[in-house]
Amino acid sequence: MASSIDFDIYVNNTKLPYVASYQVGWYDVSRDSGRDTTTADGTMILNVISQKYRLDITTKYLTSTELNSFYTQIATAPTMTVSFYDPYSATRVTKTMYRGDRTSTIRYTTSDSAMFEPITIALIQL
């Protein structure tokens, strides 16, 4: 029997709700902050000191209540422990991350509620 892979995202050990999709980015941190040098013969010298993850998470359309629930889970602390499936290693990884900017766009309203466009938020490894 094949084991199933858990593709869900967990923030502080709680499944993040309403996720429609997410993109995993993996980037290098250079010692000279991107100002790496090129030699006289044109050879670039990279001084990579670390590799970091960035998750760009997109939700489904959200009601007011769902939006509040989503933001409450990721906005309670400046940093959080995030567990996710890493396609580069084909395993689950857990990293300490911080959240990027947060915005919300109202799609339409009723007398007692609103529907919001899908939101995208970045979680970036410290």
φ, ψ of residue 64 to 5 degrees: the values are -55, -45
Structure confidence by residue, pLDDT tens digits, 78-116: 899 999 999 999 999 999 999 998 888 888 888 888 999
Answer yes or no: is 4 within a domain. no
Residues 6+ apart with CB under 8 A from 36: 30, 44, 45, 46, 47
Backbone region of residue 64 per phi and psi (left: phi > 0; alpha: psi in -120 to 50; beta: other values) = alpha
Mean pLDDT of 30-36: 64
Is residue 5, in this structure, part of any structural domain at all?
A: no
**Structural domain span for residue 56:** 10-125
Asked if residue 94 belongs to a domain, the reply is yes
Tell me if 2 is assigned to some domain: no
Query: Into how many domains does the chain fold?
Result: 1
Tell me what the mean pLDDT of segment 16-25 comes to. Answer: 95
In a domain, 1, yes or no: no
pLDDT of residue 36: 61
Q: Mean pLDDT across the stretch 25-54?
A: 78
**Per the domain annotation, does 47 fall within a domain?**
yes
Confirm whether 48 is domain-assigned.
yes
What is the pTM (predicted TM-score) of this model?
A: 0.81
What DSSP character marks residue 33? T
- Single-letter residue type at 125: Q
Structure confidence by residue, pLDDT tens digits, 8-17: 999 999 999 9
